[in-house]
A and B are shown apart, each in its own frame.
Chain A
Amino acid sequence: METLAYLAPLFHIDVLGAIMLGTLGGLVIGALPGLTATMGVALLIPLTFGMPAVMGLNMLIGIYIGGIYGGCISSILLRTPGTPASAATVLDGYPMAQKGEAGKALGMATIASTIGGLVAAVVLAALAPQLASIALQFGAPEYFALALFGLTIIASLSGDLLKGAISGLLGILISCVGADPISGVLRYTFGVSGFASGFAFTPALIGLFALSEVFTLMERMARDEPNIQPVRGRWPSWQDMRESRGALIRGSLIGTLIGIIPGVGSGTASWISYNEARRSSPTPEKFGTGYAPGIAATESANNAVCAAALIPLLALGIPGDVVTAVLMGGLMIQGLAPGPIMFQTNPDVIVGIFGGTFLATIFMFIFGMALIPLFSRILAVPRHILAVAIMIFCFIGSFAINLNPVDLYTMVGFGVLGWFMQKFGFSQAALCIAMILGPMLEANLRRGLMQTHDDLFAFASGPLTILFLTLTVLSLGWPVLSRFLARRREAKTMTLETK
């Protein structure tokens, strides 16, 4: 009964309007490369100074949810991931758009984001205090083991194992640039102060995926290939939905679990989810060619992370990612201290945030679906103009993030690298995964060994560490094992037949 009373203020016209505006604004911010959900939330915090707590916070949450979703739009249409969260969506989204199915790809992404968001929101509302303790189990060894497990994705995603391994190792090497996470010594910066924090991540991704694609587009123009003929329609077929069912459920759950672990983030969640969807699919070879379940997997996972990241924030007062750290600032401005006591002192705000998360997800669905025809029209633009437009976006987007001119060199450098990799069959995905996980792997290995005074057994003794290390071994061994099992089954049926 009380809960209902707390929910009532949400349906006040001002509050609904604020959530709606926030979500729409977030969607636009996320769709534009170079503007991220974090920036959107931070820029609008001063606007919420004068608002009541529930209204202000839900507007920020709307921006967050809309922003993470919006990232898929430029990934699918222009191969330009606006945020690391949507880099994995490029893999199947862009080929689908190239086949003329941009509307359907965006439709699938919208549905998947909505399902992922709703699943995590239900978990948030039902189990936040209980699940939050998972966040506390993760010390340095656990993070290390999780990152190691994440890296095994490279083996299954890259096709050619040797080239995949080369890409992955290159990614880890690249992630070593910048200040050493433990001692603070600058590595491989060659005296350029702009590289003191390493290569800026989003500009690197924009170069890797988008600028390299501009080069490819130019090559195609030189060969005078015909333009894409867009197919109308935005709803995935029933067959698409049936094939994506597993990917959606798994993606939502993986996203929720990873979202609870502070500091891992939606980038990792969407890659792991993509890999799991591919692994358990009866037709893994279709992934990467423009296959709807690929989008379902990544987008359900990254939007689940949004709502799930609120779990440790509200229940423990520890933000799970950069955006929730900014949200925490927003809460403190309202004079609220997130943490276990907030459930007792301000249940109205907690319930209000739960409700707002649902509402924002629903608005996101409505706006997303309504705007698809508009967004898809981008592809009707002649290819030579589109190439120039993407190139301009690459530069503006890379500069806008940190206003650091050095980031432009990063973007162009990665663009050339990405183009070469594409041409010679090296996996850009592998490089991207390694760059996401490399820093987490290195810092936590060294921090953990430092804390256990270089005792490897003490380091690898926690149950979660052992779990993830076992998963790593299984994940690497699975292809060999499954081939072995299949052969045995074949042999069995053969012998049965001969009998």
Chain B
Amino acid sequence: MIPLARVLVRLVSFVLLVLLALGGLALAVFSIDAGTTGPSLARLASLLQLDEVRNAVGDWLGRMEADGPIALIAALCGLGAVLAGLVLLVGLLVPRRERLIVVSRDGEGELAVRRRPLAQVAQALAEQVRGVTEARAKARPGRRAGGRLRMRVTRGPSADPHGVHDEVAGRLGELTEPLGIATRVEVTRPRARVE
């Protein structure tokens, strides 16, 4: 949720900055002249059809004051805008926090490992197992300490799935058990390849 909010903040701020730049450029260009023709503000207002926009918006706002489907749409849009604003605020204000797998914590201090290197090492170990053609690992920290490692390996067509599972689990155990990380290994069949 929070990573999504951060992406939204980046996207919205980029789009708003582009719009601001374009608007500023248009204003600068149309401020060259002072008349109602040529590059003037009056000409810009005419190009943007501001009169018609004002009438349309005024009419719409007038209908929104009364009960009816437009008022309902407006209420829903307002609610959506509030929610979008809250999401953007969360993405902007919630500090970044690195998700570490805390291996041990005592009076001497804390020992932690980042998720990605742990997953990479686990992948490298799994790919050394005979019969494994591909390995994908995902490590997640636990609530207090330790964590979970989910390993998905693809076996070759002739490899025994149980043998591959046991071998991969054994190799990963040497890495994860001392760190208090629970391991789950899934062995999948090779995907059919059409050439």
Q: Do the two chains bind?
A: no
**Residues of chain B whose beta carbon lies under 8 Å from any beta carbon of chain A:** none
